[in-house]
């Protein structure tokens, strides 16, 4: 193991708990905190040559972590802005993609005589788009459209109100539409 690897490994042992505690305090999410700390160490490893020792390693690592936290919230804010009320034009434009029971209209994604839902490549994109949704949103979409569960059952399982369920379902479908447009429709 080279000197850089040994040094970063030492920093992981010495500062890992403190970095994780700070990331968790700032995000209130265990997995996100773990990811941010991991990204911090990856960045520290990749930019090790830029560390000149003018500050303590702990200060340098916390600076990197704080930048990662800021980036995390910027990304989260951008995603949430997709659903702001100012974007009603594209929100309303997607309503005709779903029938009165809030299911995808059959044939809506047909190209020629092929149905996109029969296309394995499209299904891979759809699965990736569902995976990109916030966790609860993904659970709702999968329960409703893949497992074909009743909305009351989903609300009970996730301990959410009916109005929250419908709002999340609507927003998740819009985000799926946007993701599919960006990754599939060319």
pLDDT tens-place string over residues 101-137:
666 666 544 344 356 667 788 788 888 888 888 888 8
All structural domains of the chain? 3-81 (1.10.1740.10), 98-183 (1.10.10.10)
In whole angstroms, how far apart are CA 141 and each of 45, 124, 148, 174, 176? 39, 16, 9, 12, 10
What number is the average pLDDT over the span 28-52? 92
pLDDT tens-place string over residues 143-164:
888 888 888 988 888 888 888 8
pLDDT at 3 over 90: no
Rounded to whole angstroms, how far apart are CA atoms 170 and 186?
A: 24
pLDDT tens-place string over residues 67-96:
998 888 877 766 655 444 444 444 454 555
What number is the average pLDDT over the span 37-61? 92
Rounded to whole angstroms, how far apart are CA atoms 156 and 89?
A: 32
How high is the pLDDT of residue 115? 63
Q: Report the chain's mean pLDDT, rounded to a whole number.
A: 80
How high is the pLDDT of residue 106? 62
How high is the pLDDT of residue 28? 87
């Amino acid at each position: 193991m080279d000197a850089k690897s040994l040094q970063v490994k030492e920093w992981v042992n010495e500062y890992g708990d403190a970095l994780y505690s700070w990331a968790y305090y700032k995000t209130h999410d265990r997995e996100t905190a773990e990811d941010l700390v991991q990204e911090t160490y990856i960045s520290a490893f990749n930019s090790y040559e830029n560390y000149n020792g003018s500050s303590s390693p702990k200060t340098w690592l916390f600076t990197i972590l704080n930048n990662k936290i800021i980036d995390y919230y910027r990304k989260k804010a951008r995603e949430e802005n997709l659903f702001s009320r100012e974007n009603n034009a594209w929100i309303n434009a997607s309503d005709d993609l779903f029938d009165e029971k809030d299911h995808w209209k059959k044939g809506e994604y047909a190209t020629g005589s092929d149905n996109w839902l029969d296309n394995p490549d499209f299904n891979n994109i759809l699965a990736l788009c569902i995976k990109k949704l916030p966790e609860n949103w993904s659970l709702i979409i999968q329960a409703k459209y893949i497992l074909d569960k009743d909305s009351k059952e989903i609300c009970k399982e996730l301990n959410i109100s009916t109005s929250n369920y419908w709002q999340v379902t609507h927003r998740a479908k819009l985000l799926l539409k946007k993701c599919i447009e960006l990754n599939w429709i060319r």
